[in-house]
């Protein structure tokens, strides 16, 4: 009886760790890329607000630049949001900002994705993204995954 109780307790304690491991694997994150697996694991477990920036130490979170007019890039961003099945919340053509909501597949949590298009030179436009989980302390890499998927969709659209 005691053995069965101990085994049950071990299984109950293991379930959260197994769920976290599944989420981390499912997000298909670039574990070996800079700044390395331990820094990444720490970030994925402790942050739920991820942004791109020109000088990010995470290569997938570096601001992307495109040689398109701002309005055209914003239209492509809207199209990418729709193709990804994200819910468009708002689009402001004048400020070059877009807000979408993504429902995560594993836990069904809602994450907010903010996209900003801004001209940085006469023929160059920057596209920045901020992805924020509404719940939890760590996002298990889900918001980084949102950024990676969005940038991939944009790259595919622009190459077509």
CATH code of residue 134? 3.30.310.80
Which residue from 39, 60, 38, 18 is spatially nearest to 147, judged by alpha carbons? 60
Query: What's the DSSP call for residue 8?
Result: H
Distance CA 2, CA 135 (A): 37
Look at residue 6 and tell me whether its pLDDT is greater than 70.
Answer: yes
Domain that holds residue 19: 2-159
If one counts the domains in the chain, the total is 1
Distance CA 83, CA 27 (A): 19
Average pLDDT for residues 89-114, to the nearest whole number? 92
Q: Residue 137's CB: how many other CB atoms inside 10 A?
A: 9
Q: Which pTM does this prediction carry? A: 0.90
Compute the mean pLDDT over every residue in the chain, rounded to the nearest whole number: 93
Cβ atoms 125, 65 nearer than 8 A: yes
Give the pLDDT confidence of 60-93 residue by residue, as tens digits.
999 999 999 999 999 999 999 999 999 999 999 9
Look at residue 94 and tell me whether its pLDDT is greater than 90.
Answer: yes
Average pLDDT for residues 92-114, to the nearest whole number? 92
Q: Which pLDDT belongs to residue 122?
A: 85
User: Tokens 């509404």 — which residue?
Assistant: 134
Would you state the structure tokens that stand for residue 152, as one six-digit string? Answer: 């991939």
The answer for residues whose C-beta is within 8 angstroms of residue 108's C-beta and 6 or more apart is none
């Amino acid at each position: 009886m005691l053995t069965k109780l101990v085994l049950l307790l071990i299984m109950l304690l293991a379930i959260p760790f197994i769920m976290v491991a599944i989420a981390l694997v499912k997000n298909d994150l670039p574990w070996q890329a800079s700044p390395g697996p331990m820094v990444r694991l720490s970030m994925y477990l402790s942050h739920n607000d991820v942004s791109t920036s020109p000088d990010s130490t995470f290569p997938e979170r570096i601001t992307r630049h495109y040689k398109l007019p701002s309005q055209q890039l914003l239209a492509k961003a809207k199209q990418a949001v729709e193709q990804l099945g994200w819910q468009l919340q708002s689009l402001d053509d004048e400020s070059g900002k877009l807000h979408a909501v993504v429902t995560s597949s594993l836990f069904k949590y809602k994450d907010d994705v903010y996209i900003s298009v801004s001209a940085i030179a006469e023929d160059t436009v920057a596209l920045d993204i901020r992805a924020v989980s509404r719940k939890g302390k760590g996002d298990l890499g889900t918001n980084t995954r949102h950024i990676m998927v969005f940038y991939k969709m944009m790259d595919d659209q622009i190459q077509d």
